[in-house]
């Protein structure tokens, strides 16, 4: 929790004023039993109506001032807690946005969502409760004991015994529940992860008629969460009855002792009532303190989880050592190929084996490079190394002779247009989605990109054209339409390197052929990488990389690979039987 307190620095005034006004409210509340004792002993005892009226007005004044202090304290506490959580949530979101792909893989989507929502809400409640009750409850408890000593020492000794017993009960339960609340939040992570997985794959679940199986899986995880919460709840539930037993036992002893004192004339009836009121105040405040402790326990567990997320290293991995000067970089780049992979290996964090092993090739500016291979051969992993989404664990990826790990990631990615394997669009309009590629793009630039991506008719046929509304994730479009719009989004920025990661898988062969023909008309300076399962998509590439189990099994043109690469031949002839080899240009 200490690591998160810096987000309260802009609310120093509120964090001081909220407890201060609660302290004032507590002091006014401690005066009420004394006023009541005076009303009983002097007003009622002496039948003094004027005194009763004056003390009654005094009670009303104490109540009004106490209410004003309470409302003011609540205002400042809520302002500080909500502002704190807003800044923390924004900081966490910015941190997540800055994580590398490795960091995102390490955290996990469901965990990040839980941290952003449930955990921060719990921390917000904890801050609010602490500012309101952390000073008030102890002041009432110890203040009531001190006031009891001013009335009668013998009766006050009952308070001295009762308060440590109450503290032992409260803090004993606290120590037992702190680790359990962390386990509850982790179980909530698992439930959320399964729910997200089911919602994402609901069509697959229904297609394979696995609803009953998924319901059973969710039921098991949900029941595990419920059992854990009930276990923690049972322990926490002991707190209230334990405090009530101790306080009511103290009340019995107090009334008995007070009655004896009254009988011998050492105490008045009003003073006994005041002592009972002070004991009742202690009971109420300790119940509040118990609830505060439960809330703070949850908040501390959640704060640790949020802090752990913030400690995941952000940014991209860069090379260590002194940066070379601009002149040295230019000199090193002379005569170097536009893009090169130099004995590159890639191992994902937590994986035992290498995903890519000893990949070496060069690409000249303006070339079209096809990448093909079986499922899991490392095609997407290879193209993800070019923008630096993952760092090479061995070797180097160089752009114009410079290791991309020495380059500013933002400047590097401005030169690259990426169409990921999964087509993702954002809620808004066609125009707002295309503007992701280039915020300064003109309407003509957008239409040109849509034409190249074979998506012009999609937009023209929708009401509003470029301003046609898109739902979240582009769910109001078909899979092929989403893919073409994501290709257009990448083309809008006129990238030096265009990466199409199996981005035409939902297109029919005719549209795919038109798209490939249109891509060949792009400016000569654009270097294009086409990842595809279809041999037809890469037949005319200047170079074709054939991957097999993370290794480069072949490199060359289509005709060269048919002669020299067994893996490529198997892929090609599985799609084009040998007797139709003459149609290889299809």
For the record, the structure tokens of 226 come out as: 């419920």
Q: Does 182 or 44 have the greater pLDDT score? A: 44
Only one residue has tokens 């995903």, namely: 355
pLDDT at 141: 81
Length of the chain: 586
pLDDT category of residue 356 using cuts at 50, 70 and 90: very high
pLDDT at 416: 92
Compute the distance between CA of residue 553 and CA of residue 566 in angstroms, rounded to an integer.
Answer: 9
What CATH number does the domain located at 77-310 have?
1.20.1560.10
pLDDT category of residue 152 using cuts at 50, 70 and 90: confident
569's enclosing H/E stretch is: helix 566-575
- pLDDT tens per residue, range 102-138: 888 777 777 788 888 888 998 999 899 888 887 788 8
pLDDT at 581: 46
Residues 36, 274: contact at Cβ < 8 Å?
Answer: yes
For the record, the structure tokens of 571 come out as: 């892929």
Compute the distance between CA of residue 452 and CA of residue 489 in angstroms, rounded to an integer.
Answer: 11
Compute the distance between CA of residue 573 and CA of residue 559 in angstroms, rounded to an integer.
Answer: 13
Mean pLDDT of 421-448: 90
Mean pLDDT of 451-457: 90
Compute the distance between CA of residue 249 and CA of residue 37 in angstroms, rounded to an integer.
Answer: 23
Quote the pTM value: 0.70
- How distant, in Å, are the alpha carbons of 345, 398, 403, 404 from that of 320? 19, 16, 12, 13
pLDDT at 213: 92
pLDDT category of residue 524 using cuts at 50, 70 and 90: low
Mean pLDDT of 321-341: 58
Compute the distance between CA of residue 410 and CA of residue 392 in angstroms, rounded to an integer.
Answer: 18
Task: State the span(s) of the chain assigned CATH 3.40.50.300.
Answer: 339-583
Compute the distance between CA of residue 451 and CA of residue 522 in angstroms, rounded to an integer.
Answer: 12
Compute the distance between CA of residue 490 and CA of residue 495 in angstroms, rounded to an integer.
Answer: 8
Lowest mean pLDDT: which of 287-291, 309-313, 425-429?
287-291
pLDDT at 350: 72
pLDDT at 319: 52
In this structure, are strands 368-373 and 402-403 parallel, antiparallel, or unpaired? unpaired
Provide the angle, in degrees to the nearest 10, between the axes of the packed helices 269-310 and 12-38.
160
Question: Is pLDDT of 318 > 70?
Answer: no
Residue 438: which residues within 8 A CB-CB, separation 6 or more? 445, 492, 493, 494
User: To 5 degrees, how large is the angle CA 417–CA 421–CA 424?
Assistant: 75
Helix/strand number for the chain, H first, E second: 21, 12
pLDDT category of residue 275 using cuts at 50, 70 and 90: confident
Only one residue has tokens 């993800």, namely: 384
Residue 317: which residues within 8 A CB-CB, separation 6 or more? 100, 102, 391, 405
Mean pLDDT of 327-346: 72
Mean predicted lDDT score pLDDT of the chain:
85
pLDDT at 532: 87
- pLDDT tens per residue, range 486-504: 999 999 988 999 999 888 7
- Nearest partner of 384 among 495, 485, 501, 550, judged by Cα: 501
Helices (H), 201-268: 202-207, 211-237, 239-263
- Residue 90 burial by Cβ neighbours in a 10 Å radius (0-12, 13-18, 19+): exposed
pLDDT at 47: 80
Q: Does 306 or 282 have the greater pLDDT score? A: 306
Question: Is pLDDT of 321 > 50?
Answer: no
Only one residue has tokens 């994902």, namely: 348
Residue 360: which residues within 8 A CB-CB, separation 6 or more? 341, 342, 343, 344, 395, 552
pLDDT at 583: 44
DSSP 44-100: ITTT-HHHHHHHHHHHHHHHHHHHHHHHHHHHHHHHHHHHHHHHHHHHHHHHHHTB-
Question: Is pLDDT of 542 > 60?
Answer: yes
pLDDT at 43: 80
Residues 355, 378: contact at Cβ < 8 Å?
Answer: yes
- pLDDT tens per residue, range 232-274: 888 878 877 887 788 788 888 888 888 888 888 888 888 888 8
- Domain 339-583 of CATH type 3.20.20.150: no
pLDDT category of residue 316 using cuts at 50, 70 and 90: low
Helix (H, G, I), strand (E, B) or coil at 135: coil
pLDDT at 234: 87
Task: State the span(s) of the chain assigned CATH 1.20.1560.10.
Answer: 77-310
pLDDT category of residue 529 using cuts at 50, 70 and 90: very high
Question: To the nearest whole percent, how much of the chain has pLDDT over 70?
Answer: 94
- Nearest partner of 355 among 336, 377, 375, 337, judged by Cα: 377
For the record, the structure tokens of 453 come out as: 């991506």
Lowest mean pLDDT: which of 41-45, 393-397, 487-491, 522-526?
522-526
Mean pLDDT of 412-426: 88
For the record, the structure tokens of 29 come out as: 């509340």
pLDDT at 72: 94
Question: Is pLDDT of 229 > 60?
Answer: yes
pLDDT category of residue 331 using cuts at 50, 70 and 90: very low
């Amino acid at each position: 929790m200490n690591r998160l307190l810096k987000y309260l620095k802009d609310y120093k005034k509120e964090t001081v004023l909220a407890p201060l006004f609660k302290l004032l409210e507590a002091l006014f509340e401690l005066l009420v039993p004394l006023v009541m004792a005076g009303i009983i002993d002097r007003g009622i005892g002496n039948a003094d109506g004027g005194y009763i009226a004056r003390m009654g007005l005094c009670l009303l004044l104490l109540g009004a001032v106490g209410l004003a202090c309470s409302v003011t304290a609540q205002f400042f506490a809520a302002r500080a807690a909500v502002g704190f959580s807003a800044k923390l949530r924004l900081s966490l979101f910015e941190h997540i946005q800055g994580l590398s792909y490795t960091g995102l893989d390490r955290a996990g989507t469901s965990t990040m969502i839980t941290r952003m929502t449930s955990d921060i809400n719990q921390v917000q409640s904890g801050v609010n409760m602490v500012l309101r009750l952390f000073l008030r409850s102890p002041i009432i408890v110890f203040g009531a004991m001190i006031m009891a000593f001013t009335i009668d020492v013998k009766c006050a000794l009952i308070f001295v015994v009762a308060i440590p017993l109450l503290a032992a009960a409260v803090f004993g339960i606290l120590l037992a529940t702190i680790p359990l609340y962390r386990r509850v939040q982790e179980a909530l992570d698992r439930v959320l992860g399964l729910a997200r997985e089911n919602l994402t794959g609901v069509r697959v679940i229904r297609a394979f008629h696995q609803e009953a199986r998924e319901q059973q899986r969710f039921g098991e995880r949900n029941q595990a969460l419920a059992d854990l919460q009930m276990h923690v709840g049972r322990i926490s539930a002991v707190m209230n009855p334990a405090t009530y037993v101790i306080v009511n036992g103290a009340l019995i002893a107090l009334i008995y002792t007070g009655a004896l004192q009254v009988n011998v004339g050492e105490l008045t009836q009003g003073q006994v009532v005041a002592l009972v009121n002070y004991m009742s105040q202690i009971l109420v405040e300790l119940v509040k303190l118990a609830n505060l402790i439960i809330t703070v326990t949850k908040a501390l567990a959640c704060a640790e989880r949020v802090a752990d997320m913030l400690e995941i290293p952000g940014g991209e991995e860069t090379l260590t050592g002194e940066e070379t000067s601009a002149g040295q970089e230019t000199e090193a780049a002379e005569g170097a190929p536009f893009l090169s992979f130099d004995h590159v290996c890639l191992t994902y964090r937590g994986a035992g084996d290498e995903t890519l092993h000893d990949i070496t090739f060069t690409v000249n500016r303006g070339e079209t490079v096809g990448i093909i291979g079986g499922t899991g051969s490392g095609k997407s992993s290879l193209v993800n190394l070019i923008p630096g989404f993952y760092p090479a664990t061995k070797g180097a990826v160089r752009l114009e002779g410079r290791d991309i790990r020495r380059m500013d990631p933002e400047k590097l990615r401005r030169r690259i247009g990426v169409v990921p394997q999964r087509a993702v669009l954002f809620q808004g309009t066609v125009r707002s989605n295309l503007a992701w590629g280039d915020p300064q793009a003109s309407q003509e630039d957008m239409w040109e990109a849509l034409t190249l991506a074979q998506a012009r008719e999609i937009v023209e046929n929708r009401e509003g054209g470029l301003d046609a509304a898109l739902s979240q994730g582009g769910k109001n479009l078909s899979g092929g339409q989403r893919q073409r719009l994501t290709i257009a989004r990448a083309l809008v920025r006129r990238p030096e390197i265009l990466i199409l990661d199996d981005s035409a898988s939902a297109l029919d062969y005719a549209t795919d052929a038109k798209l490939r023909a249109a891509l060949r008309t792009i400016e000569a300076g654009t270097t294009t990488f086409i990842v595809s399962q279809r041999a037809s998509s890469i037949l005319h590439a200047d170079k074709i990389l054939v991957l097999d189990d993370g290794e480069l099994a072949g490199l060359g043109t289509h005709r060269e690979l048919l002669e020299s690469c067994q893996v490529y031949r198997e892929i090609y002839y599985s799609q084009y039987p040998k007797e139709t080899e003459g149609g290889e240009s299809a």
